[in-house]
Amino acid sequence: MADRGVAARKAAVFLLDQVLGEGRLLPEVLGAGAVDALPADDRARAQRLALETLRGLERADRLLARHLRKAPPLHVRNVLRLGTVELCQGGAAHGVVDALVNVVAGHRRHAALKGLVNAVLRKIAAHGPEAWPALRVPRMPKWLRAPLSDAWGAEAIAAMERAHFAGAPLDITVRADPASWAARLGGTVLPTGTVRVPDAGQVSALPGFDEGAWWVQDAAAALPVRVLDPQPGERIADLCAAPGGKTMQIAASGAEVVAVDTSPTRMARVADNLARTGLRADLRVGDALAETGRYDAVLLDAPCSATGTLRRHPDLPFAKDGSEFAALIALQARLLRHAWTLVAPGGRLVFCTCSLLPDEGEVQIDEALADLPGATADRAALSRPGIAADWISAEGGLRLRPDFWPDAGGMDGFYIACLRKAQDG
């Protein structure tokens, strides 16, 4: 019997169970091999279905509440959620319903609920697609929405939530000739130089991937290295380097890069990507706080809340609750001050976080400028192609948000600042 999408949907429901039931992040689950046994196209489909379901979860639950007297077990609820999102986004009713009934029918504990799944999803298929667009854009959870609203205001938060719900196109950094690769891949070159490819499909099957001509990297994530502006022959430290996109950018410039990260698994991925692209870096598995030496420049992509990445990682609000923020902010401050000791006189430090919280960006730099010897904010470093003047914040950093470039597909939330050390520092 043909699979009819059962395997991919079964895997997608497992991913949802892990995020919504176990509080695990999708990269952690995927890194543990959750979908590795599937063919490449099914792996991609399972991940896409899980991500789309997480983005549309609030809407799905509102529609399902009309047809459920009580909540079924989480696994079955996640089957219904996935089916609701798929049906309301244009999935063929017969194929979706049949596949998901088979997913439940094959479950050891919940097979008896296959009739419920069949009945509810057929009702969703009949009325859900019409009701779906009228529902509000899904909101961030209160633990995250409240501090972001305080920082950016209600109008900006609503715009960010629209960007989160829309998801993210594929962004790539190319080693050379972005215009040529954009034409070949059916994409466009963004004002900052990143190539954006809509509806890319399976990344590893795209032209140029195997040859290492480019790597996946959100447009915002590519900007810290553009601000750093590495030069051939410079010695540069990339602290907290994994997954390695910025390491490859620095290496491609001709600079000598030392990449440091605590995770052996993630650094193995960096090594694989360097091998694919033919780039070289000195990879060191260890604590950035223990790194010593002197560098012409240091890039610190500090561990953070990752609240700027929800358009690509909608699992985050469901797997976290904000309780780790204080510890992360304290760690960022320690890393920033240690990184400063590695910068040679006259050198520069680029600090960045993929966070929307000012405490992980603007506040960190405000405090650093007050107590780091010989430090000044290098505003000129932020004058890069595609950077709008109103993205530059009062203390001299660069604030990026998901609601920027709304007509082009948005960007991740990021904060970036370049600190210059005095010659006698």
Residues in the chain: 425
Per the DSSP assignment, residues forming a β-bridge with 285 are 261
359, 366 Cβ separation under 8 angstroms: no
Of 88, 304, 352, 354, the active-site residue reads 354
CA gap 80, 327 in Å, rounded: 37
Strands 256-261 and 343-353: unpaired
35 with 43: CB under 8 angstroms? yes
The alpha carbon torsion through 45, 50, 52, 56 (nearest 10 deg) reads 160
In 3-state terms, what secondary structure has residue 299? Answer: strand
d(CA 126, CA 129): 8
Asked if 418 is an active-site residue, the reply is: no
Q: What is the largest CA-CA distance in the chain?
A: 75
Reduced to 3 states, what is the DSSP secondary structure of residue 351?
A: strand
Peptide bond before residue 230 is cis, with ω within 30 degrees of 0: no
Q: Which two tokens stand for residue 122?
A: 């057929």
The answer to whether 165 and 137 are in contact (CB under 8 A) is yes
- Which are the catalytic amino acids? 354
